[in-house]
Structure 1
Amino acid sequence: MNIRVGIVGISGFGGGEAMRLVACHPSFELVYAAGEGSAGSRLVERFPSVPAKLAEMVIEKWDPATLPKLDVLFVSLPTGASAEALARVPKDVKIVDIGGDHRYVDGWTYGLADVWPSQIEGRTRVANPGCFPAATLNALAPLLASKLIEPGNIVIDAKTGISGAGRGNGESKFGYAESNENLVPYGLLKHVHAPEIARTIERLSGGSAEGLVFTPHLVPMTRGILATIYCRGRATTEQCLDAARRFYEGRAFVRVTDKPPHTKWATGSNLSFISYAADPERNLVIAMGVVDNLGKGAAGQAVQNANLICGLPEASGLDGAAIWP
């Protein structure tokens, strides 16, 4: 099967990771690359290690009116930059929006692929979850579905690598001198991912997510997210682990571990690692979720969603091992 694929925002970190995965996909053929500041460049100028078959492809200026014939379009643009243009993409082109404009928007399916794969299959408009929700919600889903924790008053403490801030225009404030040996909280009380997390907690639990606290931090590493999540519940550690193993039985990308996960376990992969520690006497459950913010947190889950909407095996192009060390 030859599925014609385009990528918008290809010169950014998320778009570049999507290109890497599409280039190695057994059924996808990259035929269109688009950007803004990078328009007119050849892919090899932006990505010197690009496969030879794609090296001379020229990045076009993003304009939905000039799209070639495509089957699937991946869009990796900053939040607020894609809604208007994507409304003009022909209906027969399947879209996976890696950015934030279409999460929980009418007409778009929320693409939490490991939790709701059957709701994504065959859809034509899929909104990829954000990177922090990908790490957090995969860990919370089994507990909420099994009523092992209360949906309210959940506290999320999350750490992300610097690539989560995006590549920008080459003038990023997250350069080496600013980021090395530095730990920075940001987005306090108003992070763009908080409403998405709250909405999904309520969808999974049937209850209210009132009292949710989400605090992200930038840490001096390139890739990876660790979400440590504090919840109220009387479950034991083993009950939490058992619930997760049942919930994700047969799922390709979620690994339930007895010990706390490391961010490096997921580097360069679409894997999601989850674990738990609980003290029922203290009414406390700690859930932990790890993903690569550019993998499961962005392009990896986007390709997983594209596989589902195209009727392909879910793990197509995604079953490589993580990078170690």
Structure 2
Amino acid sequence: MDVAIIGGTGYGAVELIRFLHNHPHVHVTKIISHSNSGTDLAEVYPHLVDIIDLEMIALDIGDLAKEVELVFFATPSNVSKHYIPALVDQGVRCIDLSGGDFRLRDGEKYQAYYGGEEMVSQSYINQAVYGLPELNKEQIKQASILANPGCFPTATTLGLIPVLEKDLVERKSIIIDAKTGTSGAGRGGLSLNVHFSEMNENFKAYQLGVHKHIPEIEQVLTARANEDIQVTFTPPHIVPMTRGIMSTMYVDLKDSQSTGQLIAMYEDYYKNDPFVRIRKEGIIPSTREVYGSNYCDIGLYADQRTGKLIIVSVIDNLVKGASGQAIQNMNIMCGWDETTGLNQLPIYP
């Protein structure tokens, strides 16, 4: 299958290229970049010299729709909504990694958290499937517009959903403490926050109370709990590492549960999901253990003294939090085994 990537110079795009290069069913034929049109990809990413020989081109919707069957959008927020409708109308399936354009269902929340922009037409929002494979596999199979989840929502919701669905925790007590590496800020338009001199030997929080992933997390949890869920999201603490997200969640247990009981329940819940790994009792995952991979690792501790459950969920923000999950979704959409092209071991150390 011939596919294209729009937004070809960001970290999300280059991770798509890394995984798709050895995918047995896919050929990346077009890489589209407005800012680097006419430039060879290897000039922007020299590690691809003599491996990927593609010149980045400008976007022409009409030509693109004739030449590829599926398009990945690895663009900034508020971009994909201007192009996906035209592609979908011409029969091209689209996977959007870029932001909330097709993730959020509520126009007011989209405007509030995404810079006051108008949401795309509701008819296209209705077509969009939220692409968390562990929850929506059957819907993903039929998707023409696939809204790839954000990195923090992926780590967080995978950690919380089992106990919410089983009604084991108080739903008004959810605290999420999340930490991320600097690659989450992207490659273009680098902010002062992630300059080496600002980040090295430093640790900081940002966007308290206004982070754009808050409504996405609450939307997913509300749908699974069948009740309005609000969370306290202490949004990203940026830590001086390149990749990785650790989302640590604190919830009050309704009844006494042992760590072992909860681990057994999580193992059963995710028994058919190849990229979610539940750690044994006494073992808490670290970001290094999923580095470069599509895994989400979850560790649990039921604190008998306080009655709280502590959930630790880790992912690579560029893989399970973006490009790897997008490829997992593509596999499901196309009827292939969802692990195809994604079986690489995590990189260690």
> Normalised by the size of structure 1, how large is the TM-score?
0.94
- Measured in 2, the distance between the counterparts of 1:174 and 1:150 equals 36
Partner of 1:298: 322
1:50 shift after superposition: 2.1
2:159 maps to 1:114: no
Partner of 1:146: 166
Equivalent position to 2:55, from 32, 55, 58: 58
C-alpha offsets along residues 95-138 of structure 1, whole Å, 9 cap, x if unaligned? 11001111033220000112322221131111000000111111
Per the alignment, in what secondary structure is the counterpart of residue 48 of structure 2?
coil
Partner of 1:263: 287
Partner of 1:99: 98
- Measured in 2, the distance between the counterparts of 1:144 and 1:9 equals 36
1:44 shift after superposition: 1.1
Which region of structure 1 is more displaced relative to structure 2, 57-66 or 213-222? 57-66
- Measured in 2, the distance between the counterparts of 1:207 and 1:141 equals 13
Supply the RMSD in Å over aligned alpha carbons.
1.7
Partner of 1:44: 42
Which region of structure 1 is more displaced relative to structure 2, 58-67 or 302-311? 58-67
Greater RCO (Cα-Cα under 8 Å, separation 6 or more): 1
C-alpha offsets along residues 3-58 of structure 1, whole Å, 9 cap, x if unaligned? 11111112101111111111111111000101122222111112222274522x11
Query: Which structure 2 residue ranges, 5 or more long, are not aligned?
Result: 105-124
Pairing 1:24-39 to 2, within 5 Å after superposition: 24-39=22-37
Cα 1:176–1:160 shift into 2, 3 Å:
same
Partner of 2:348: 324
Pairing 1:215-234 to 2, within 5 Å after superposition: 215-233=235-253, 234=255
The count of corresponding residues between Structure 1 and Structure 2 is 322
1:212 shift after superposition: 3.5
C-alpha offsets along residues 210-263 of structure 1, whole Å, 9 cap, x if unaligned? 353342111100000000001121332122211110011032111100211100
Pairing 1:118-137 to 2, within 5 Å after superposition: 118-137=138-157
**Residue type of the alignment partner of 2:103:** R
Per the alignment, in what secondary structure is the counterpart of residue 272 of structure 2?
coil
Asked if the contact 2:244–2:288 (Cα under 8 Å) also holds between the matched residues in 1, the reply is yes
Which region of structure 1 is more displaced relative to structure 2, 103-112 or 254-263? 103-112
Partner of 1:181: 201
Partner of 2:117: none
2:4 maps to 1:6: yes
**Residue type of the alignment partner of 2:44:** R
1:171 shift after superposition: 7.1
Per the alignment, in what secondary structure is the counterpart of residue 135 of structure 2?
coil
- Measured in 1, the distance between the counterparts of 2:341 and 2:261 equals 34
1:169 shift after superposition: 4.1
Asked if the contact 1:37–1:169 (Cα under 8 Å) also holds between the matched residues in 2, the reply is no
Equivalent position to 2:267, from 245, 265, 269: 245
> Normalised by the size of structure 2, how large is the TM-score?
0.88
More helix by share: 2
Asked if the contact 1:23–1:51 (Cα under 8 Å) also holds between the matched residues in 2, the reply is no
1:273 shift after superposition: 0.2
Per the alignment, in what secondary structure is the counterpart of residue 230 of structure 1?
strand
Cα 1:211–1:21 shift into 2, 3 Å:
closer
Asked if the contact 1:153–1:209 (Cα under 8 Å) also holds between the matched residues in 2, the reply is no
Per the alignment, in what secondary structure is the counterpart of residue 83 of structure 1?
helix
- Measured in 2, the distance between the counterparts of 1:303 and 1:89 equals 19
Partner of 2:119: none
**Residue type of the alignment partner of 1:59:** M
- Measured in 2, the distance between the counterparts of 1:283 and 1:94 equals 46
- Measured in 1, the distance between the counterparts of 2:69 and 2:79 equals 22
Per the alignment, in what secondary structure is the counterpart of residue 115 of structure 1?
helix
- Measured in 1, the distance between the counterparts of 2:83 and 2:271 equals 39
Asked if the contact 2:127–2:144 (Cα under 8 Å) also holds between the matched residues in 1, the reply is no
**Residue type of the alignment partner of 2:92:** V
C-alpha offsets along residues 155-209 of structure 1, whole Å, 9 cap, x if unaligned? 1100000000000146765221121111110111010000000011111111221
2:159 maps to 1:162: no
- Measured in 2, the distance between the counterparts of 1:51 and 1:22 equals 16
Asked if the contact 1:275–1:287 (Cα under 8 Å) also holds between the matched residues in 2, the reply is yes
**Residue type of the alignment partner of 1:237:** T
Partner of 1:21: 19
2:307 maps to 1:275: no
- Measured in 1, the distance between the counterparts of 2:60 and 2:227 equals 42
Cα 1:313–1:11 shift into 2, 3 Å:
same
- Measured in 1, the distance between the counterparts of 2:141 and 2:155 equals 22
Cα 1:170–1:207 shift into 2, 3 Å:
closer
